[in-house]
């Protein structure tokens, strides 16, 4: 056995031991590095979490502030029964009776509707102390009539979204349906007088009954006609929903039509007292504005218009036509859709940009003219 042979096992063992120690050291070093990185990541995540929690707390505080300053639908709903009872139980004032008599002289439809019963198949419901007759329709789930009859719905939230701009004076309810907005607004104390236009025969009869049964003679004056851009008459299409009737060349019922300026003049509506105009005419909003040149000249009047590209095209108007009309008549607008993008109050020049998000959907717009900047 040579000396090298005696040294070889020892050398090999030392080599293997050194290699094992090096491997163990590298493993430990890698683990410590990984552990350090994990700890750093955890610390960074903890900082991010703390920052997010701080931001969330601020947002929750701001949300609570908004909740405190926003009007609540349940407050109006709770007050309506007592106010509705007061209207029904109080005899009409002399001024209201005189106003109703003068209105009946001009609106023969009103005088006639008072003498007829409810339309066949109409439902009667009481909601928040208010009496409602609702015409028969297909009662499609989620439709207007179904929401009223089955869901006991009133447009309280919609009314509250506009209250910052609407209070007292005269309201024009164009496309009044059965009076859900106008009757509720008067009883809630928002408006002094309402002149309402509704062309659908069954809707109109129910509207008249709802006005009378809620003690609003001479306070809400309902007329049976369609407001458009022509004085005369036109074909009217009855829908399967009480909210879907509209002037249309495909219509089989002939209804009276008036320009808004003509209607105001014929009924001797005090134009200087008009504060609010609600227009829901199934795509004929552009036609309504075209016949309202004189009223549009008055500042301080707030307009609420439905904007539905689909219904506008069906009425042979482009959405851009209505946008152009509004931009020539108003200075500011509010998109009442709570999920609409952008600021709530915007200059009318941003209207087209603000409505880009609409495709086949619709929204309601509040618009007015003011020299104040937004």
**Which whole number is the average pLDDT over 343-347?**
95
The H or E element spanning position 290 is helix 285-290
**Which whole number is the average pLDDT over 85-92?**
92
pLDDT winner (highest mean) among 14-23, 28-37, 304-313: 304-313
Residue 23, pLDDT score? 73
Confidence grade of residue 8 (pLDDT, cut at 50, 70, 90) = low
How far does Cα 78 stand from its chain's mean position?
A: 21
* Among 5-9, 67-71, 312-316, the least confident range: 5-9
Confidence grade of residue 21 (pLDDT, cut at 50, 70, 90) = confident
26 phi, psi to nearest 5 deg: -65, -40
DSSP for residue 57: H
Task: Count CA atoms within 13 Å of residue 200 on its CB side.
Answer: 28
Q: What's the chain's average pLDDT? A: 91
**Which whole number is the average pLDDT over 17-26?**
72
More confident residue, 155 or 25: 155
Confidence grade of residue 374 (pLDDT, cut at 50, 70, 90) = low
CA distances from 311 to 3, 115, 239 (A): 106, 35, 13
Residue 45, pLDDT score? 86
* Total residues found in the chain within this entry: 374
Confidence grade of residue 16 (pLDDT, cut at 50, 70, 90) = confident
Q: What is the crossing angle of helices 73-89 and 180-188, to 10°?
A: 80
* Among 251-255, 277-281, 325-329, 359-363, the least confident range: 359-363
Q: Which long-range contacts (CB under 8 A, 24 or more apart) does 339-343 make?
A: 343/374
* Among 7-21, 95-109, 235-249, 277-291, the least confident range: 7-21
For residue 81, pLDDT beyond 80: yes
Enter the pTM of the model. 0.84
Q: State pLDDT tens for residues 276-318.
A: 999 999 999 999 999 999 999 999 999 999 999 999 999 999 9
Supply the DSSP string of 112-180, one letter for each residue: HHTTS-PPTT-EEEEETTEEEEE------TTSHHHHHHTT----HHHHHHTTTT--SSEEEEET-TTSH
Residue 172, pLDDT score? 98
Residue 263, pLDDT score? 98
How far does Cα 229 stand from its chain's mean position?
A: 25
For residue 15, pLDDT beyond 70: yes
Beta-bridge partner residues of 303: 277, 367
Residue 71, pLDDT score? 81
For residue 218, pLDDT beyond 80: yes
**Which whole number is the average pLDDT over 207-224?**
98
For residue 124, pLDDT beyond 80: yes
Supply the DSSP string of 341-371, one letter for each residue: SS-SEEEGGGHHHHTTT-SS--EEEEEE--S
For residue 340, pLDDT beyond 60: yes
Confidence grade of residue 6 (pLDDT, cut at 50, 70, 90) = low
* Among 40-49, 100-109, 273-282, the least confident range: 40-49
For residue 5, pLDDT beyond 90: no
* Among 42-46, 94-98, 110-114, 262-266, the least confident range: 42-46
What span, in angstroms and rounded, lies between the C-alpha atoms of 330 and 297?
A: 10
**Which whole number is the average pLDDT over 142-156?**
96
Supply the DSSP string of 181-231, one letter for each residue: HHHHHHHHTS-SEEEEE---HHHHHHHHHHHHHTT-TTTEEEE--EEESSS
């Amino acid at each position: 056995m040579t000396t090298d042979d005696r040294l070889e096992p020892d050398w090999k063992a030392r080599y293997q031991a050194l290699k094992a120690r090096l491997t163990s050291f590298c493993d430990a070093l890698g683990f410590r590095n990984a552990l350090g990185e994990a700890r750093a990541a955890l610390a960074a995540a903890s900082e991010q979490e703390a920052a997010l929690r701080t931001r969330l707390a601020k947002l929750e505080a701001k949300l609570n502030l908004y909740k405190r300053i926003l009007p609540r639908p349940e407050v109006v709903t709770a007050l309506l029964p007592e106010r509705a009872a007061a209207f029904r139980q109080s005899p009409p004032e002399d001024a209201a009776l005189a106003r109703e008599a003068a209105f009946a002289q001009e609106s023969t439809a009103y005088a006639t509707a008072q003498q007829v019963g409810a339309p066949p198949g109409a439902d009667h419901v009481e909601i928040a102390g208010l009496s409602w007759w609702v015409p028969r329709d297909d009662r499609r789930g989620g439709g207007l009539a179904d929401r009223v009859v089955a869901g006991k719905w009133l447009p309280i939230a919609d009314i509250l979204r506009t209250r910052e701009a609407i209070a007292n004076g005269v309201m024009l309810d164009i496309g009044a349906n059965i009076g859900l907005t106008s009757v509720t607004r008067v009883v809630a104390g928002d408006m002094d007088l309402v002149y309402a236009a509704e062309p659908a025969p069954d809707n109109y009869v129910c509207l008249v009954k709802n006005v009378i049964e809620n003690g609003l003679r001479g306070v809400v004056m309902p007329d049976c006609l369609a407001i458009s851009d022509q004085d005369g008459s036109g074909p009217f299409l009855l829908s399967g929903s009480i909210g879907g009737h509209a002037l249309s060349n495909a219509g089989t019922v002939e209804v009276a039509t008036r320009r808004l300026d003509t209607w105001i003049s014929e009924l001797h509506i005090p134009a200087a007292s008009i504060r609010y105009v609600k227009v829901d005419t199934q795509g004929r909003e552009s036609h309504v504005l075209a016949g309202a040149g004189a009223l549009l000249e008055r500042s301080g009047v707030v307009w609420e218009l439905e904007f539905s590209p689909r219904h506008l095209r069906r009425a042979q108007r482009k959405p851009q036509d209505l946008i152009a009309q509004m931009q020539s008549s108003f200075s500011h607008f509010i998109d009442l859709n709570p999920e609409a993008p952008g600021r709530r109050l915007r200059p009318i020049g941003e209207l087209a940009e603000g409505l880009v998000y609409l495709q086949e959907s619709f929204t309601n717009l509040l618009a007015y003219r003011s020299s104040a900047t937004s």
